[in-house]
Amino acid sequence: MDLPRLQAAILIISDTAFRDPSTDKAGDILSDIIAIDGNDQWESTKRDIVPDDVFAIQRTVSQYCDGEDYVNLLITTGGTGFAVKDNTPEAVAPLIHRHAPGLVHGMLQASLEVTPFALMSRPVAGVRNKTLIVTLPGSPKGAKENLQAILRLMPHACQQAAGGDSRKLHSGGIEKLEEDAGVRSNKRQKHHHDDHVHSHDHTHDHGAHVVPKAHTRPEDRPISNDPRAGPTSRYRESPYPMLSVEEAVSLVLAKSPAPEAIHVPVNGSLVGHFLAEDVEANDPVPAYRASIVDGYAVIVSETGLSTKGVFPVASVSHAAPGEISTLQRGQIARITTGAPLPPGANAVVMVEDTVLRSMTDDGQEEKVVEILTDQVKADENIREVGSDIKAGEVVLRKGDEITAVGGELGLLASIGKAEVMVYRKPVIGVLSTGDEIVMHDRARPLQLGEVRDCNRPTLMAAIKGWGFQVVDYGIAKDKPGSLEEHLRNALRNVDVIVTSGGVSMGELDLLKPTLERSLGGTIHFGRVNMKPGKPTTFATVPLKTSDGNPATKLVFSLPGNPASALVTSHLFVLPSLQHSSGKQGRHGLPRMKVQLEEDVRCDPKRPEYHRVSLTYGFNGLLHATSTGGQRSSKVMSLRRANGLLCLPVKEWTAPKGEIVDALLMGGV
C-alpha cells in the first residue's frame, strides 16, 4: 500500500534539557528509531524542548496539534514518572480529545517484559484534533522500548486520526494492515480479526469513560509567550488578570524586600536615609556650663555677699578651649555668649549691668570694671551641662528620616555621633528596550522608524530626584540574548531594575518570557486598570548574592510610551523604593485636593492619571492646569507636569473650579 509520508514531532520535556539541549539523549535516539524502524513512512521529525511546566507543555502540544500544519504523531519524552516535577500526563491528558488506552497498555506491556519498573511510568496516549499524541518516559532506554512497541501501528492510527477513509484503509482486513505495518501477532486467532478492527473504530464512545477536561483554554492561562514561537502564536490579548492600581501597589509592597540595616558614617550622604535604630546622645549638650549672655563671670558667695563694686578683669574667656584659668575670689572674667564658664565662677553678670572703669596700658583689654547690681544670684545666666540634651537621651527614633533640611544631621553631629545605623537604600538600574530605540545624543539623524530614547533619561532623573542611586544600563535590543544579557548584568549589580518598552500587546514582548523562562523570575502582574500605563508589569527574580545569600531583585517593566513610563514609575516604583528604604507610614506621592482651572473629561472605563501643572492660587488652593493632550505617547504633556489628577471612572466632565484629588510629583 502506497501511503503518503507522515509528519512526526518529538517533544523533549525536561528542565535540564531546556537549559542545556546538549544534555538530551532521548531526542536523537527517538529520531533514529523513526527513521530506521519507521518503514520509510515518516518525514524527518521536528523536535522541540520544553521545561517540566504544565503550561509550557500544553502550549507546545497545542501548537503541534491545532491549526493547518499539524503533525500526525506527537511523541513526548520525559515527565511521566512519579517525581513532583513530573507533569507530562497532567499536562497532556486534558488536551486529548479521544484517549487511546490500548497504546498505553501496549507500551507498558512491552517495557514490563524488560523490567518491572515499567509500571513506574504513567503514559497517556490519544488523539487531539488530527494528531496522535503518545507520552514516552524520559529515560532513553525506556522511551526506545515504548516507541518500538507501537511505532509500526502508528501510520495506520495516524491516517485514521487525520480522517483517512477507514473503509479503504481496512479493505485488506487485519492481515493486510499487519503486513503494511510490518507486524504480525502470534496470538491472534483468525476469526477475531474483523471484530477487532471494527471495535477499534468505535473505541471513542463518549459514555465509556470520563475524560478529564480543563475548563480554561491553555492560551488563556497566564504565562508569557514563547519567544521562539512565531508572531501568529502570540497572544492577541494579554493573558494577565487586570489589577486595580491599589491591588498592584499592595502586591508591589508585599513583594519588595524588607529594609536592611547598615552602619554608615554620619556625613552628608546620610540625607534621605531612614534611621534603623533609636539614637542616644553620647555627650550632654552643652557639654560644659556656658554663659547665655555677654558679660562677666563672677563668684556669687553662698553667704549672699554682694557682687556690687569695682573688680579687676582677670581673664578674657575667649581663650582656646582647655586653657581657661580658675577665677579667684575678688576677680571677674569677661565672657561671651556660649563661652564656657571659667572654673570657680558661678554666675554671669550681663554687660548692660556694668561700666568699664579702665583699660590696660596698651589700650587693648579691659582692666577694671564696675558691677552696678547686687541682685545677681548663683547660677544666673548660665546654661547647665545637658540642659539641652542629657547624656543617654534618645534624640532620634528608629524610622526618623535624615532630611535634606539638615536638622537631623546637625543634631547627630552635635551629640557626637560618628556612625549610625540606617536602612540601606536600594540601587536602581534603568534600561530601555526595543530595536527602534536609539541614544538621544547619537550624532546621525534618525532613520525611518527610529525613536530617540527619552524614557531612560526621564526615569533616571525621576529616581535620582527621589534620592536614589541610579545606574544606566543603556538600550537592550529585541533579541532574547541581548535582553537577557542586559538584565543579568543589571541583576548582579542593582536591587531594582526599571525597564521601559516591550510590554504592550502589540510589541514583541520579550521581557516576560525572558524574566520567566531565562531568569526564573515570577511575574506578579502584567496589567493594571489605569490610564495611561495598562501594560505595567512587575516581577521578582530570586538570586544568590556573591556571598551566597539568597536575594530577591525586583523588575518593573514599564510601558514604552513616555507618559505611561513616567506615571507608572511614580505610582509603582516609588512606593517600593520607599518601603525598602525603611520609610514608615504612607508610601507613594503625597495626595491632596486641587482645584481645576479648566474642564477635564474623565475616562468612563479606567481611572485616569492626568498630567497637570499645579500652581498656588490666590485662594490658597493648588490650581491644576492640564499639560495638554494626554495620549500616553504625548511627550509634550510631560513638560511642566508636577502633578497627576486622579480622575474617577465616570462618564463625566469635571468642570472648571471642581475640587479633585491629585498626586504631587514635584515641587510647586
Ligand X SMILES: *[C@@H]1O[C@H](CO)[C@@H](O)[C@H](O)[C@H]1NC(C)=O
Q: In the window 639-668, what residues touch ligand X (CB under 6 A)? A: none
Q: Answer left, alpha or beta for residue 379, where phi above 0 means left and psi between -120 and 50 means alpha.
A: left
Which of 2, 69 has the CB closer to ligand X? 69
**Residue of this chain nearest to ligand X (CB atom):** 268
Which of 219, 478 has the CB closer to ligand X? 219
Q: In the window 50-69, what residues touch ligand X (CB under 6 A)? A: 66-67
Which of 267, 301, 306, 493 is close enough to bind ligand X by CB under 6 A? Answer: 267
In this structure, the dihedral spanned by the alpha carbons of residues 480, 485, 487 and 491, taken in order and rounded to 10 degrees, is 150
Return the SS3 of 495: coil
State the nearest-atom distance from the C-beta of 204 to ligand X, in Å. 14
- Decide: 17 and 49 in contact? Cβ < 8 Å: yes
Binding residues for ligand X, total number by CB under 6 A: 7
Q: In the window 336-375, what residues touch ligand X (CB under 6 A)? A: none
Piece in contact with ligand X (CB under 6 A), picked from 199-207, 267-275, 383-391, 495-503:
267-275
- Decide: 620 and 630 in contact? Cβ < 8 Å: no
State the nearest-atom distance from the C-beta of 65 to ligand X, in Å. 6
User: What DSSP element (H or E) covers 83?
Assistant: none
Cβ density class 618-632: b for 16+ within 10 Å, e for less: eeeebbbebbbebeb
Piece in contact with ligand X (CB under 6 A), picked from 261-269, 330-338, 350-358, 648-656:
261-269
Amino acid at 231: P
State the nearest-atom distance from the C-beta of 128 to ligand X, in Å. 6
**Cα separation of 645 and 635, whole Å?**
17
**Cα separation of 133 and 360, whole Å?**
114
State the nearest-atom distance from the C-beta of 21 to ligand X, in Å. 28
State the nearest-atom distance from the C-beta of 7 to ligand X, in Å. 14
Which of 203, 250, 269, 328 is close enough to bind ligand X by CB under 6 A? Answer: 269
Which of 66, 388 has the CB closer to ligand X? 66
**Cα separation of 540 and 538, whole Å?**
7
Which residues touch 78 (CB under 8 Å, ≥6 apart)? 12, 13, 14, 17, 26, 52, 88, 136, 137, 138
| Phi/psi of residue 354, nearest 5 degrees | -135, 165
State the nearest-atom distance from the C-beta of 267 to ligand X, in Å. 4
In this structure, the dihedral spanned by the alpha carbons of residues 9, 12, 17 and 21, taken in order and rounded to 10 degrees, is -10
State the nearest-atom distance from the C-beta of 97 to ligand X, in Å. 6
Piece in contact with ligand X (CB under 6 A), picked from 11-19, 136-144, 152-160, 264-272:
264-272
Which of 250, 267 has the CB closer to ligand X? 267
State the nearest-atom distance from the C-beta of 74 to ligand X, in Å. 13
State the nearest-atom distance from the C-beta of 291 to ligand X, in Å. 33
- Note whether 271 binds ligand X by CB under 6 A: no
- Decide: 567 and 589 in contact? Cβ < 8 Å: no
Instruction: Annotate each residue in 210-249 with x if it binds ligand X (CB under 6 A) or - if it does not, as one string.
Output: ----------------------------------------
Look-up: residue for cell 538600550?
A: 475
- Note whether 268 binds ligand X by CB under 6 A: yes
Amino acid at 554: L
- Note whether 129 binds ligand X by CB under 6 A: yes
Return the SS3 of 286: coil
Which of 173, 265 has the CB closer to ligand X? 265
Which of 57, 293 has the CB closer to ligand X? 57
**Residue ranges binding ligand X (CB under 6 A):** 66-67, 129, 265, 267-269
